[in-house]
Amino acid sequence: MESTPSHSQDADLIRPTRDVLEHALVKDRAAMARAAEQDLQAFWAREAANFVWFNGWDKVLDDSNPPFYKWFTGATTNIVYNCLDRHLSTWRRNKLALIWEGEKGEQRSFSYHALSREVCMFANVLRSMGVRKGDRVTIYMGRVPELPIAMLACAKIGAIHSVIYGGFSVEAIHGRIEDSQSNIVITCDGGYMNGKVVELKQIVDEALKRCATVEHVIVIKRTGMDVPMEEGRDYWYHDLMTLPVAKTASGQSRCETEEVDAEHPLFLLYTSGTTGKPKAILHTHGGYMVGVATTLKYVFDIQDDDRFWCTADPGWVTGHSYVVYGPLLLGATVFIYEGGPTYPFPNRWWSLIEKYGINILYTAPTAIRGLMRFGEAWPNRHDLSSLRLLGTVGEPINPEAWRWYHRVIGKGACPIMDTWWQTETGMFMITPMPETPLKPGSGTLPFPGVQADVVDEHGNSVKPGEEGYLILKTPWPAMMRTIYNDNERYVEQYWKKVPGAYFTGDSARRDADGYYWIIGRVDDVIKVSGYRLGTAEIESALVSHPAVAEAAAIGLPHEVKGNAIHAYVMLKAGQEPSDELIAELREHVSHEMGPIAKPEKITIVPGLPKTRSGKIMRRVLKARAQGLPEGDLTTLEE
Ligand code: PRX
């Protein structure tokens, strides 16, 4: 792999201000990391002691059958007991848990008491509809409070939620419902995004024509638009919540939280990999709870008077871990905004920070780059002085965007937590803490207890400054447990490439100070605006169009999105290329997969570069498109 200069330049280090250091929970990260390295299990056991366990654990970590690691074995708990129930007997009962603003400016807020009440009632409804411990429930919604409420209601009764991002569409939903064998779908009539209505229920209806398992659909009224309701299958959420079943026999809005094993599945979250079939990453109650809360506490330094805003959609892992579960576990106040950042004007986010006095903002590089384009005047119109810490996630952040975020939004006083992690890791893995000296564009160091490395194809560590594969060498509590129903694929994809280590699929460099610089994916995953998409899924959406014989998708650099999808298609015999057909194909991908997967550009080609065994050589397409050397072509078919 190519060698690049090391980024170690001490002059570049951005050190925290005295205020930040005084506030910081962790003053000496190196000491914390040493303690965790010396005794990993004691480190995590200390953090686990902050939670309620109905039964204590026999072992902190069971590593007798790697890579099927188990955490807190023998213990019982429920993440929802720790997110909600336990706060109700403290002063936090009346603290705001959730503040929400809709795209049209409506406001709703929930204290811990109010959130728990709503969750209890919906959990009772789900139970009355026959949902039992271990059942899978699909959730497909816009960003409304009922999304976290539905997730928590499922987890409370031991059901396994599978949230599908509201930007996905028909085929993506069908594939995920079928794989998870859910028989209940919770959705909204529609959702608001960037001033438009997303027709969520209609998309669900279309997807359900392709799946047989679903018995009931619960619909939240968000837009009030007209939607067909199928009798016996579809129910309005607001009707169900007024039924006697939503309450206990004595008329109270209570619901017993199910005691579950620490290793009981909490959720499935589908993510893209190297094949066309999305894989369901499985996370559990106990370890995920400890990992997510601990990382959030130390990295974002959350304290009781903070208002935390993570702009991610709860439909992605960032939303699961750091909009829903992490903040509630810490008894924090979380803010959720329904819509797009530039609606109706590019100051919407900045006005929300001022209006709600947000202290911590956690977002994605693509959003920063997008907002940067509108200039400084928009944020400068607002008082952003409540901000104390900033964060970023999802893709590498270019130093230019980092510096703008730091200077214009953070006024030079808010450190930026550039957190590297994945759906699979569940929690931050390489990340600064407020005390860590920063280098723009680097995620800095592994979280205490995490041992990472950058290696070559034989698994040997590469020299500082050299590019290699990023691997993780120690288990961590919030790690995925498996791919749902596919242990073999789990072992094959993550644990085979470098024996004994977790293979992240990312390439990285480590500099002379031990700081990590993530470069990007080494597999067929494309990060578009931080969203993770598989080339194979896009290709399979393209070939499902009757005019297409074969297709190849690649990611090419894009100024705002990071990467944009470019597709090459071969038409079936008798099909004529035309601009109309290209427009139709782009729409087709959007309809099947979702607008986020719509290719930037489609080129109709007479043939695709393939190996002699018939595999499309995407790297050749990529090099050609960028005018770069095409590399080794010995395996290329004539
Ligand atoms: O390539 C890395 C990139 O996002 C991938 C994980 O995507 P996903 O599972 O969708 O989770 C995204 C949110 C955690 C990683 O393999 N990535 C994530 N965070 C960063 C990043 N790349 C660079 N810097 C980051 N901070």
**pLDDT, tens digit, 9 for 90 and up, residues 47-81:** 999 999 999 999 999 999 999 999 999 999 999 99
186 alpha carbon – ligand 1 mean position (Å): 28
**Amino acid 5: pLDDT:** 40
What phi-psi label fits residue 496: left (phi over 0), alpha (psi between -120 and 50 degrees) or beta? alpha
Counting atoms of ligand 1 from 1, which one is nearest the CA of 396? 23
Q: Please write the tens of the pLDDT for every residue from 71-113.
A: 999 999 999 999 999 999 999 999 999 999 999 999 999 999 9
Rounded CA-CA distance 144/608 in Å is: 44
Q: Please write the tens of the pLDDT for every residue from 452-511.
A: 999 999 999 999 999 999 999 999 999 999 999 999 999 999 999 999 999 999 999 999
The runs of H, that is alpha helices, within 181-228 are: 200-208
Q: How many CB atoms are located within 10 Å of the residue 51 CB?
A: 18
Residue having the nearest C-alpha atom to atom 2 of ligand 1: 395
- Could you tell me the CA-to-CA distances from 134 to 118, 404, 469, 562 in Å, in that order? 22, 46, 36, 38
Distinct helix (H) and strand (E) counts, the chain: 20, 30
Q: Please write the tens of the pLDDT for every residue from 415-467.
A: 999 999 999 999 999 999 999 999 999 999 999 999 999 999 999 999 999 99
Residue having the nearest C-alpha atom to atom 24 of ligand 1: 396
∠257-262-266 over CA atoms, to 5°? Answer: 65
Counting atoms of ligand 1 from 1, which one is nearest the CA of 521? 1
**Amino acid 7: pLDDT:** 46
**Amino acid 11: pLDDT:** 54
422 alpha carbon – ligand 1 mean position (Å): 5
420 alpha carbon – ligand 1 mean position (Å): 6
> From the CB of 315, is ligand 1 less than 6 Å away?
no
Counting atoms of ligand 1 from 1, which one is nearest the CA of 430? 26
**Amino acid 275: pLDDT:** 74
pLDDT, mean over the chain = 95
**Amino acid 4: pLDDT:** 40
Q: Which of 314, 17, 303, 383 is nearest to 150 (CA)?
A: 314
389 alpha carbon – ligand 1 mean position (Å): 20
Residue 151 · residue 324 · CB < 8 Å: yes
Q: Please write the tens of the pLDDT for every residue from 303-348.
A: 999 999 999 999 999 999 999 999 999 999 999 999 999 999 999 9
**Amino acid 3: pLDDT:** 38
> Is the pLDDT at 6 greater than 60, yes or no?
no
> From the CB of 331, is ligand 1 less than 6 Å away?
no
> From the CB of 467, is ligand 1 less than 6 Å away?
no
Q: Please write the tens of the pLDDT for every residue from 116-136.
A: 999 999 999 999 999 999 999
**Amino acid 638: pLDDT:** 58
> Is the pLDDT at 8 greater than 50, yes or no?
no
Counting atoms of ligand 1 from 1, which one is nearest the CA of 431? 26
Mutation probe of ligand 1 site: the residue of 392, 393, 480, 533 with most atoms within 8 A of C-beta: 393
Residue having the nearest C-alpha atom to atom 25 of ligand 1: 420
Residue having the nearest C-alpha atom to atom 4 of ligand 1: 394
> Is the pLDDT at 244 greater than 50, yes or no?
yes
Region 239-251: what's the mean pLDDT?
91
**Amino acid 635: pLDDT:** 80
Strand runs labelled E in 347-456 = 360-363, 389-392, 416-418, 452-455
Rounded CA-CA distance 388/385 in Å is: 8
Q: How confident is the model at residue 612 (pLDDT cuts 50, 70, 90)?
A: confident
